[in-house]
Structure 1
Amino acid sequence: MIVRSATCKDAPMPSPSPHSRPVRILLVEDHDMVAEAICLALERSPDLQIVGRAASVASALADASCCEPDVVLMDRRLPDGDGVAAIADLLALVPNVRVLVLAGEGGGSVAARVAETGGSGLILKARGLNELEDAVRRVAAGEVVFSQDLLGDVLERLSGRVRGLGANLTPREREALDLLQEGRTTAEISVQLGVALNTGRNHVQRVLEKLGARSQLEAVAIARREGLLK
């Protein structure tokens, strides 16, 4: 049975705790089954309340103004953009809101981007619903929360001791990487960049070397994990 999505107008109103009102959550997730599972898991607790659901960055920005959430639980990859890139816009609309990014995968550079843009944390979907529930409470209470396996890397990157993977890619190599993500062949990349075939091959090869990838497909996967691609 499909549970009707909560909106600003019809969000269920669980009984507040005797000491404070429930934490108001705007969920931004474009996969219906994932969103339903998260809603059911969070709303079983009387101190958590889903006040809105959105499936895109544009909808999240519109709903954030009317729903007045305490926490925005934001999927990293959305149909119209990058959830991490949308953090600054959300904070401009609702300055006191806390943004917790939910990602299928992510490396230290992605988590560092969350922190640098004013986000309150990043948690991987694989960590489970109980951990997500705890993270929402902690973020609402003012903590910054990252999955344990990302925290050390985040601190190192923010302190400047480690350059992010792919930080040394040249502008041309980044263009080649973008084209690899589109599934272009080396010949097509060379034409798109306006360079000789051998030069195009060299660009692609250096991308693989700098990302530590053994294939073009692995290079794209690593670049996505590290937040180099949208």
Structure 2
Amino acid sequence: MPSTSQTAPGPMARITGERITGERITILLVEDHDMVAEAIRIALDRTDDLQVVGRSLSLKDALADAARLRPAVVVLDRRLPDGDGIAAISRLKAAAPGTRVLVLTGEATPAVAARVAEAGGSGLILKAGELGELQDGVRLVAAGEVAFSKGLLSGALDRLTGRTADLGSTLTPRERETLGLLGDGLGSAEISQRLGVALNTARNHVQRVLEKLGARSQLEAVAVARREGLLR
């Protein structure tokens, strides 16, 4: 897929080598949904100190665009057509040393926030939040600080320092049942039949289990659950 990134330095910016510098914080937006990307771009560009200098539609494009544009901050969607954004953080930082990564996601748990921190990301912002939260988040990570949506930072720190309670403490009874069926090797269709629910409902149960365990796949969720003593 071709990149749609465009260099667009404004009146407050200047180009030095490959990297755009100046008073405005330069941003590479990695988001494959057009309407979402446009709303974010408008929200960021309308400020005096933030500037979107490029947009990437995939992780592959993002790696090339980050190396070329050297933005101060990469605003990275968690789920992209060619992979998991969190898993690509280290590659993005290697492609553009000094660039900081702020992840955007539709929903998250402290376990997911911990994954972002462990991968070298500087923050995790929920898409459902206010646009002002995203603007402030970009400013914070550009200044070398961290930016996590409310409720995620403390939970992430607890997980990273080993102070967290039982990882499965937030699982509902139905989600625990779903996890047990995943541990038995069942897929969504079989879980649907076993629980007597619609296939989409079963898939939602599975997805919530993955989110709460900070897992990227059913296999990883089972591995995490066994490690944490949630499954035998």
TM-score (norm 1): 0.74
Conserved? CA contact 1:100–1:123, under 8 Å:
yes
Conserved? CA contact 2:63–2:92, under 8 Å:
yes
Residues 6/217 of structure 1: CA separation in 2 closer, same or farther (3 Å cut)? closer
1:179-198 deviations in whole A, cap 9, x for unaligned?
Answer: 32xxx32599xxxxxxxxxx
Conserved? CA contact 1:6–1:50, under 8 Å:
no
What aligned pairs does 1:116-135 form with structure 2 within 5 A after superposition?
116-135=118-137
Match of 1:157 among 156, 159, 163: 159
Conserved? CA contact 1:6–1:12, under 8 Å:
no
How far has the Cα of 1:132 moved from its partner?
0.5
Which residue in the other structure is 2:104 paired with? 102
Which residue in the other structure is 1:7 paired with? 5
Paired positions, count = 196
* Percentage of matched positions with identical amino acids: 52
Which residue in the other structure is 2:139 paired with? 137
How far apart in 1 are the matches of 2:210 and 2:26? 31
Letter in 1 for 2:154: G
Conserved? CA contact 2:4–2:57, under 8 Å:
no
Unaligned segments of structure 2, at least 5 residues: 15-21, 170-175, 196-200, 218-232
Which residue in the other structure is 1:80 paired with? 82
How far apart in 1 are the matches of 2:168 and 2:89? 22
Aligned to 2:205, what secondary structure does the other structure show?
A: helix
Match of 2:92 among 90, 93, 98: 90
Which residue in the other structure is 1:210 paired with? none
Which residue in the other structure is 2:190 paired with? 185
How far apart in 1 are the matches of 2:129 and 2:109? 15
Which residue in the other structure is 1:173 paired with? 183
How far has the Cα of 1:75 moved from its partner?
0.4
How far apart in 1 are the matches of 2:87 and 2:75? 14
Letter in 1 for 2:190: T
Which residue in the other structure is 1:44 paired with? 46
How far apart in 2 are the matches of 1:133 and 1:42? 6
Conserved? CA contact 1:43–1:49, under 8 Å:
yes
Conserved? CA contact 1:6–1:51, under 8 Å:
no
Which residue in the other structure is 2:198 paired with? none
How far apart in 2 are the matches of 1:127 and 1:36? 16
Letter in 2 for 1:229: R
For the aligned residues, what is the CA RMSD? Answer: 3.1
Residues 40/14 of structure 1: CA separation in 2 closer, same or farther (3 Å cut)? farther
TM-score (norm 2): 0.74
Which residue in the other structure is 1:194 paired with? none
1:98-146 deviations in whole A, cap 9, x for unaligned?
Answer: 0000001011110000000100000101111111001101110000111
